[in-house]
Amino acid sequence: MRATAVVVERVGIALAVMGPGAVLLHTALRGLQVGMPAAIAASAALGLVGTAWLARWLRARLPEPPPRRAFVAAWCLIAAVASTGMTARLSLFMVDGARTEDSIYPHDAFYVQHSCLSAYFEAGRLQRAGVPNVYETTHYEGERGEPRWLDGFAMDAYLYPPPFLLFSRLGLALSDDFATWRAIWFALEGAVVLAALLAVGLWVGGAAGRRVLWLIPLVWLSMPTLVTLQFGNLQLVAIAGALLAMLAFERGHHAMGGAILAPLALSKVFPGVLFLLLLWQRRWRAAAWTAAFTIGLTVASLPVLGGAPFHAFFSHHLPRLASGEAVSMILARPDAIAANHSVHGFVEKLGLLHAPGMSERVEMVVSWVYTLAVLGMTAIAARSAPARLPRAITWLALLHLAALRSPFVPDVYAQFPLVWIVLLLLARDGLSARRRVGYAALFVLAAIVTPTVHYVSRPYVAAFLVHQALFFALGLWVVWSRGGTGSESRPPVGLYPRPAVG
């Protein structure tokens, strides 16, 4: 019985990664117009062979199994099957946008019709056509904010720095078909998230790392993960990829880490907080490689993109983004204000609750004070605990806090790092029953995303304000407490060697 439970546990952990991974491969192949029989054969091969290989590979790397082996084994297998099944269902909508019944929240028009990916696609087409200012919002919506449509999806406005257009242009070189983009980007983004979830658990190692691996399906099945995958927003790649970059630095692969972190910082900006962390920790080689790739990508983008996107970014878009004007149409809606987790959103919620003095000037001042606070929190995080699990939690907390500097961070993808943070906290050694219950409650609050609400009452806004403040406080506590360190004081034996300094 013991031997069977151990095998089932390993198979469940492997299937939690390879099962959804096989579905992602099938989605990408269907997006590339590969025939159904070939796509099924390739994805089935990955699912079966990959699961068998990973389960065997884990045998020598997982520590001795814990008590309650049968329960753990059953959980791992059932959760892995659920992850695979939910991914398969969502993939049907990602291959065929007409299959709205297979989307997340299929009866909510906003969730069905919204596509962040549309902004990347349309901005690339505009830049390729020689349009000098891809940040002009009327390219993506009407003058009064009415949506423009792309294959049945409401276009999103492009808000990212110019170098990200390189990736849009690369995608357009492969295909001009938005349906193909949706399928392939869903597969790529999901693969990055799965790789990061697995890599973090293996790197943490020991009993805590084993628990991290058990909890992979909970991160994957949470609404922030699934909805953001459906929307195609870069946020998941920015956070999961940044964790992969830090793991590369920890293993001494500085060039690889820099090659991953630099484009993420150039695209989403907030992952650059980890570059600041490297500087505070005097990890000069890692910082130098990141800076080199950042400069190299920026220079390489000039011959392809020209100077017009950069001029438009600095002269037109950046001032409007800093003031919140770039997203003013969105933030004119009370439901968007309620869902906004950024520091702008905090002030605007107080305004909806009729708190005195909540003006645009106050928003600007608070945002810049918060920018300085993030710099200070990064300095505090530089003294993070030596154990691996607290370090991973601290990286996620920094990414979460830095992302909140943007004028608009909706709950849909603001809560993804929170889900991951809380589950990593649950994986710690020596937790009391009270803390386990508390973290489990936080997970439930972080894992749920509410559908669109058309009438926003003051109690509704107040509830969202409390929710936002609670998780903001969690991020601050994680950084201040060195990753929520408790009884864990030593780095456990894991897959990777000790951190490489320098």
Using pLDDT thresholds of 50, 70 and 90, give the confidence band for residue 488. Answer: very low
Same domain, 140 and 154: yes
Number of domains present in the structure of the chain: 2
Mean pLDDT check: name the lowest of 92-96, 104-108, 145-149, 203-207.
145-149
Host domain of residue 36: 2-101+178-232
Same domain, 124 and 31: no
- The answer to whether position 345 is within a domain reads yes
Same domain, 362 and 405: yes
Nearest CA to 122 among 109, 110, 135?
135
Same domain, 94 and 66: yes
- The answer to whether position 28 is within a domain reads yes
Task: Work out whether strand 114-115 and strand 149-150 pair parallel, antiparallel, or are unpaired.
Answer: unpaired
pLDDT of residue 142: 82
pLDDT of residue 451: 81
Distances (CA, A) of 205 to 49, 212, 248, 276, 378: 24, 9, 16, 26, 25
Residues 6+ apart with CB under 8 A from 103: 90, 93, 111, 112, 230
- The answer to whether position 500 is within a domain reads no
Show the DSSP H helices in 129-205 as ranges: 165-174, 178-204
Same domain, 58 and 157: no
Mean pLDDT check: name the lowest of 164-168, 195-199, 340-344.
340-344
CB 238 within 8 A of CB 264: yes
Same domain, 62 and 200: yes
What mean pLDDT comes out for the span 417-439? 94
Mean pLDDT check: name the lowest of 159-168, 221-230, 298-307, 454-463.
454-463
Rounded to two decimals, the pTM is 0.93
Same domain, 76 and 39: yes
Same domain, 142 and 10: no
Q: Give, for 154, the enclosing helix (H) or strand (E).
A: strand 153-155
What mean pLDDT comes out for the span 70-96? 95
Same domain, 156 and 185: no
Reading phi first (left if > 0) and then psi (alpha if -120 to 50, else beta), residue 232 is in left
Same domain, 206 and 317: no
CB 262 within 8 A of CB 293: yes
- The answer to whether position 351 is within a domain reads yes
Residue 195's Cβ-side half-sphere holds a number of Cα atoms within 13 Å equal to 18
Q: At what angle do helices 165-174 and 178-204 cross, to 10 degrees?
A: 120
Mean pLDDT check: name the lowest of 108-122, 129-143, 253-267.
129-143
Same domain, 286 and 351: yes
Same domain, 245 and 330: yes
Supply the Cα-derived Rg of the chain in whole angstroms.
22
Quote the strand ranges of 314-421, DSSP E: none
